Structure 1
Amino acid sequence: MNAPFPPSRPPLHLLIAAPRGFCAGVDRAIEIVQRALERYGPPVYVRHEIVHNKFVVDTLKAKGAIFVEDLDEVPDGLPVIFSAHGVPKSVPAEATARGLDWLDATCPLVSKVHRQAERQLEAGRHILFIGHAGHPEVIGTFGQVPEGAMTLVETVEDVAALSFAEDAQLAYLTQTTLSVDDTAAILAAIEARFPQVVAPKAEDICYATSNRQAAVKEIAPMCDLVLVIGAPNSSNSLRLVEVAERCGKPAYLIQRASELDPAWLDGVNTVGVTAGASAPEALVDEVLACLRQWREVAVEEVVTARERMTFKLPRQLAD
């Protein structure tokens, strides 16, 4: 039986960031898994988490998806899906060689970076790639070009340590889920040191990452505390925490309402709430319901952009 509400609940103003939560690439990736389960029947294998969110992964597991880290774990004759983060070229090549029926759920904005990498290589340029070592998107992008054709840059300090000549034939690309501000500083350092460096035709940081960071910058100055709903291995969610903290506000990354600590609300009158691009709106609702148990909540949504982006499904599932 639930404990009764306290007799007097102090007011709490919630500023809900918009945009928040699912982006078009995540929507597409999840729909690919769901449609594959309908088309082929369970089990359907997925290489790596389809998106970085445990709630989403567990929901798909319950429907018959099996998540693995290597193609060796996929039995012959069963379909396999590649995650939204992208994979090295060697992965679909291996799947094809084994005769596996595979579907690519790579976000089209990540695929765009892959194609840019190929074009820069064809033009004879070495690629400086701004990203986080070990992230699946970085591994997938490096796997689009031969070994040694790309150098990872994570910080401004890394730029100073590069050994290329000032007039070297260089281009830069970036991971799609980076901090907008950190990346701007790194790119400024690259362009100052290598004036001839070739930039991508359009910014690689995706619209959803930029929009969610801008929304947090809007609400954080008005808040005493910011809650970011997302996974600890979600790059874009971690960046949202950093954005709030750089606005001078404490921020917590939580996966579920069960991780909320009522002590966080001591002396707090206004809380900002947002969600990373892999976090479903159901988790936002869950957090709001939990906060309502402790405080008399007034909700205000702060809209800084409208998102209407959609992506087509793979042709195998388009019907």
Structure 2
Amino acid sequence: MLKTDNTTKAFAPASIGNVSLGFDVLGAALAPIDNSLLGDWVEVADAEQFSLSCDGRFAHKLPPNSVDNIVTQCYEYFQKKRLALGYKALKVKMHLHKDLPIGSGLGSSASSIVAAFYALNQYSAKVFEAEVFDKNTLLKMMGELEGQISGSIHYDNVAPSYLGGMTLMSGQDTQIALNLPVLDKWYWVACYSGLSVSTAKARAILPTSYSMSDTLQFGRQLAVFVDSLHKRDEALAASVMIDVIAEQHRKALLPYFDEARAFAIQNQALSFGISGSGPTVFAVTKTLESAQSIQSWLAQHYIQNEDGFSHICKIDQAGTRTL
């Protein structure tokens, strides 16, 4: 009798956290228009003893000890939750293909976490003929692991990477994230400079309190943006994509940010901002020609070393999926 192959491989896309106007509550998944995969993937396979192997462009940036790898921590957390529900322990080995740079502002840790949890849940479905955790519970677990790295639980990277599209965090345990309509004519130019910005450091640089006027502007912008997406009003949506919370403080960590913004706006960008904590920046355009012009400038002037890269993207509607 042939042995059943339960191997499961899951891919989780890169994401833009905050999307300028939605600090900690808005996120969007990215899909390069050249059909390349921008994100990490994780494989789970049968094994008598747990082990983790890694490869990929940025694998050399990972902790040398697999015990310290976030994917190992995902396995241990998933196993603990399974056992608490009375399930048998999983006997698996895992492999991480690390294509996203750490500290890039592209949801690198989120991508690994989401791919790991999704693969483990799908593997469980193969072996035990049922997924252990529903979508909302799994998302909550992803956010908790992400919080261990950034210093606080937030879902603006794990939610879009997992669910796909553009997501709004509800603040409710019963449905953590809501999918918003996507303006599919827009192009998103994402450019990683090659530098590294710690999420914890980027959060520490922010004020502990904000003025009433900034708070009101933040709320108005987010409300108008969500409404404009439902109405398919591209001009109105673009007009409120302004960061009043983080950008003015975080841009000091990003060399040539102001110059990049100026060029993008001069070349028909609808919006320009910092992806998550940075240093990745993004520009939104209505035409491919404009996107290509901005991408070319960023490649020449914003990228600082050989680790940097840029992609012209659309919003990834699929989210995490098996490969």
TM band (smaller chain) = under 0.3
Normalised by the length of structure 2, the TM-score is 0.25
The structure whose Rg is larger is 1
Normalised by the length of structure 1, the TM-score is 0.25
